[in-house]
Amino acid sequence: MSTDEQPDILELRKRIASNKLRDHIFWILGLLSTLIGFGLLFTLIIDLFIDGFPRLSWHFFTSYPSRFPEQAGILSAWVGTTLVMIATAATAVPLGIAAGIYLEEYGKKNWLTSLIEINMNNLAGVPSIIYGLLALGLFVYFLKFGESILTGGLTLGLLILPMVVIATRESIRAIPNSIREASYALGASKWQTIKDHIIPYSSGGILTGMIIGLSRAIGETAPIITVGALTFIAFLPSSPVTSGFPFLSFKWLLDPFTVMPIQMFNWISRPQTAFHLNAAAAGIVLMVMTLVMNGFAIYVRYRFRKRIKW
Amino acid sequence: MIPEKLKAEVKGLNFYYNDLKALKDIHLPIANKLITALIGPSGCGKTTYLRCFNRMHDLYPNNRYEGEIILYPERVNIVDPRIDPIEVRMRISMVFQKPNPFPKTVFENVAYGLRVRGEHKKSLIDEKVERALKQAALWDEVKDRIDDLAFNLSGGQQQRLCIARALATNPEILLFDEPTSALDPTATAKIEELIRQLKKEVTIIIVTHNMQQAARVSDYTAFMYLGEIIEFDRTDKVFTRPSHKLTEEYITGRFG
pLDDT score of A244 more than 70: no
Written as one letter, the residue type at B226 is L
Query: Which residues constitute the domain of residue B175?
Result: 6-251
Task: For residues A158 and A47, state if they share a domain.
Answer: no
Chain-chain contact of B151 with A186 (C-beta, under 8 angstroms): no
The half-sphere exposure of B68 on its side-chain side, counting CA atoms within 13 A, is: 10
Distance, CA of B37 to CA of A110 (rounded, Å): 39
**pLDDT reported for residue B147:** 92
Chain-chain contact of A108 with B61 (C-beta, under 8 angstroms): yes
Q: Tell me the mean pLDDT in the region A38-53.
A: 89
**pLDDT reported for residue B87:** 94
**B117 is a domain residue:** yes
**pLDDT reported for residue A258:** 83
Chain-chain contact of B115 with A108 (C-beta, under 8 angstroms): no
Query: Which residues constitute the domain of residue A14?
Result: 9-53
Tell me, yes or no, if B102 comes closer than 8 A to chain A by beta carbon: yes
Look up the CATH number of the domain holding residue A172: 1.10.3720.10
Tell me, yes or no, if A107 comes closer than 8 A to chain B by beta carbon: no
Look up the CATH number of the domain holding residue B51: 3.40.50.300
**B146 is a domain residue:** yes
pLDDT score of B83 more than 70: yes
Task: For residues A231 and A83, state if they share a domain.
Answer: yes
Q: Is the ipTM of this complex over 0.85?
A: yes
**B141 is a domain residue:** yes
| pLDDT digits 0-9 by tens, B135-145 | 998 999 999 99
pTM exceeding the 0.90 threshold for the entire prediction: no
Tell me, yes or no, if A307 comes closer than 8 A to chain B by beta carbon: yes
Task: For residues A70 and A23, state if they share a domain.
Answer: no
| pLDDT digits 0-9 by tens, A103-139 | 998 887 788 888 888 888 888 888 888 888 888 888 8
**B31 is a domain residue:** yes
Which pLDDT band, with edges at 50, 70 and 90, does A3 fall under?
Answer: low
- Closest CA of chain A from B243, distance in Å: 36
**A2 is a domain residue:** no
| pLDDT digits 0-9 by tens, B137-171 | 899 999 999 999 999 999 999 999 999 999 999 99
Which pLDDT band, with edges at 50, 70 and 90, does B176 fall under?
Answer: very high
Query: Which strands make up the sheet holding B220-225, listed edge to edge?
Result: B92-95, B173-177, B203-207, B35-39, B220-225, B228-234
Task: For residues A15 and A156, state if they share a domain.
Answer: no
pLDDT score of A304 more than 80: no
Tell me, yes or no, if A192 comes closer than 8 A to chain B by beta carbon: yes
Tell me, yes or no, if A175 comes closer than 8 A to chain B by beta carbon: no
What letters, b where the CB count within 10 A reaches 16 and e where it falls short, cover B197-210? ebbeebbbbbbbbe
Tell me, yes or no, if A41 comes closer than 8 A to chain B by beta carbon: no
Total domain count for chain B? 1
Task: For residues A197 and A271, state if they share a domain.
Answer: yes
**A4 is a domain residue:** no
Which pLDDT band, with edges at 50, 70 and 90, does B78 fall under?
Answer: very high
**B1 is a domain residue:** no
Q: Can the peptide bond before residue B73 be classed as cis, meaning omega within 30 degrees of 0?
A: yes
Task: For residues A40 and A117, state if they share a domain.
Answer: no
Helices marked H in chain A: 9-52, 58-62, 75-101, 111-123, 128-135, 149-173, 177-185, 190-193, 199-218, 222-226, 260-268, 273-307
Q: Find chain B residues with C-beta within 8 A of A195's C-beta.
A: none
What would the 3-class secondary structure string for chain B be?
CCCCCEEEEEEEEEEEECCEEEEEEEEEEEECCCEEEEECCCCCCHHHHHHHCCCHHHHCCCEEEEEEEEECCCCEECCCCCCCHHHHHHHEEEECCCCCCCCCEHHHHHHHHHHHCCCCCHHHHHHHHHHHHHHCCCHHHHHHHCCCEHHHCCHHHHHHHHHHHHHCCCCCEEEEECCCCCCCHHHHHHHHHHHHHHCCCCEEEEECCCHHHHHHHCCEEEEEECCEEEEEEEHHHHHHCCCCHHHHHHHCCCCC
Q: Would the CA dihedral through A250, A74, A259, A67 be positive or negative?
A: positive
Size of the A and B interface in Cβ pairs below 8 Å = 62
**B14 is a domain residue:** yes
pLDDT score of B233 more than 90: yes
Task: For residues A39 and A172, state if they share a domain.
Answer: no
Tell me, yes or no, if B245 comes closer than 8 A to chain A by beta carbon: no
Distance, CA of A304 to CA of B101 (rounded, Å): 17
Tell me, yes or no, if A304 comes closer than 8 A to chain B by beta carbon: no
Total domain count for chain A? 2
Burial class (CB in 10 A: 0-12, 13-18, 19+), B189: middle
* Mean pLDDT over each residue of chain B, to the nearest integer: 92
Chain-chain contact of A184 with B89 (C-beta, under 8 angstroms): yes
How many other C-beta atoms can be found within 10 angstroms of the C-beta atom of residue A229? 25
Chain-chain contact of A187 with B98 (C-beta, under 8 angstroms): no
- Closest CA of chain B from A188, distance in Å: 6
Among A94, A87, A92, A91, residue whose Cα is nearest residue A148? A87
**A3 is a domain residue:** no
**A1 is a domain residue:** no
Task: For residues A62 and A13, state if they share a domain.
Answer: no
**pLDDT reported for residue A2:** 53
Q: Tell me the mean pLDDT in the region B24-44.
A: 93
**Of A185, A307, A309, which has the smallest distance from its Cβ to B56's Cβ?**
A185
**B256 is a domain residue:** no
Sequence-distant (≥ 6) Cβ neighbours of residue B225 within 8 angstroms: B40, B41, B44, B246, B250
Chain-chain contact of B54 with A178 (C-beta, under 8 angstroms): no
**pLDDT reported for residue A21:** 95
**pLDDT reported for residue A269:** 87
How many other C-beta atoms can be found within 10 angstroms of the C-beta atom of residue A179? 19
Tell me, yes or no, if B149 comes closer than 8 A to chain A by beta carbon: yes
Task: For residues A45 and A107, state if they share a domain.
Answer: no
